[in-house]
Amino acid sequence: MQDRSPAPGTAPSLRNLLILEVISCAERPLTATEINDALKLPKPTIHRLVNSLEEDGYLTRHFDGRSYLPGPRLREMMLGVMRASYHLAPQRAVLRGLNASIGETCNLSIPDGDEMVYADRIETHWPLRVDLQIGSRVPMHATSAGKAALAFVPETVLEKYLRKAELRSYTPFTICDRDALREEIEKIRTLGYSTESEEFVSGMIAIGVPIKDRTGKLCATLSFHAPRQRLDLEEGLKHLPALQKAAGNLGELIDALS
């Protein structure tokens, strides 16, 4: 069974979610001991948590009396997630179309604090790639996705970021000077797109554009990245029209849901 043991420092409240994850991914009912094979929690803890989840309706006892299945509340949550996934289909279609056009990994990212979170992505089929999963966080100042976001947030938000953010160096090309970053942001505002050349990962280039709603408010960013040995920045910019069109389509999807 896949090891899902909590990392050091994991909040105790997350343990219940990890138990539900193990149960949801299992192909058969599991005993508390089998659940704990993946979590490695103290024996009294796993039994206490499983009993509590059963009492609250998230787990239900199998007729063998020893093992557990998703309970009514967990099944309802699963149905809700499935219903929500229907709304992801148009978004994924746009990303897949962009990926097919460019042939490189395409990312939908959302700003969160001083980082960007990958909300969705379609990987390139090439074996040489940067392995960043959905949910991964990347710095704003060192990525095309982040710089595209900084260029189109309200000025007060940008000023606060420039005052307080840690501009960490990831490669010799990372922009760590606040004045230089401000100059880069102004350039992106004028151009309408951002570029990145080995600022976050050595040997990688990326291009990003904002995704806006009908009012012009920034909602997310759309970007793609590729290794320079396969696609240099000049060649990558030839895909800018496709990137901008896909961002416009995603903006229309946001408007349709609002």
Identify the residue with better confidence: 93 or 13.
93
CB 123 within 8 A of CB 108: no
CA distances from 10 to 5, 18, 34 (A): 10, 11, 21
Q: Is the pLDDT of residue 233 over 60?
A: yes
Of 253, 254, 231, 222, residue with least CA distance to 98: 222
Q: Classify domain 83-257 by CATH architecture.
A: 2-Layer Sandwich (3.30)
Share of the chain above pLDDT 90, in %: 65
Listed in order, the ranges of the chain carrying CATH 1.10.10.10 are 14-70
> Of how many residues is the chain composed?
258
What is residue 143's DSSP assignment? S
**Beta carbons within 8 Å of 258's beta carbon, 6+ residues apart:** 213
Averaged pLDDT, 50-69: 92
What is residue 239's DSSP assignment? G
Q: Is the pLDDT of residue 11 over 80?
A: no
CA distances from 64 to 68, 69, 253 (A): 9, 11, 48
Name the token pair of 130. 């940067």
Cross-strand bridge partners of residue 69: 60
Q: Tell me: the pLDDT tens digits for 114-130?
A: 899 888 888 888 776 66
What is residue 202's DSSP assignment? T
Listed in order, the ranges of the chain carrying CATH 3.30.450.40 are 83-257
Q: Angle at which helices 144-152 and 178-191 pack, to 10 degrees?
A: 80
The pLDDT of residue 120 is: 87
Q: Classify domain 14-70 by CATH architecture.
A: Orthogonal Bundle (1.10)
How far is residue 110's CA from residue 108's CA, in Å, rounded to a whole number? 7
The pLDDT of residue 97 is: 94
Phi, psi dihedral angles at 157 (to 5 degrees): -70, -40
Q: Tell me: the pLDDT tens digits for 143-178?
A: 999 999 999 999 999 999 999 999 999 999 999 999
How far is residue 103's CA from residue 97's CA, in Å, rounded to a whole number? 10
The pLDDT of residue 5 is: 63
The pLDDT of residue 128 is: 63
The pLDDT of residue 90 is: 87
The pLDDT of residue 176 is: 96
The pLDDT of residue 123 is: 85
Q: Is the pLDDT of residue 7 over 70?
A: no
Max distance between CA atoms of the chain, in angstroms, equals: 67
Q: What pTM did the predictor assign?
A: 0.72
Rounded to the nearest integer, the mean pLDDT of the chain is 89
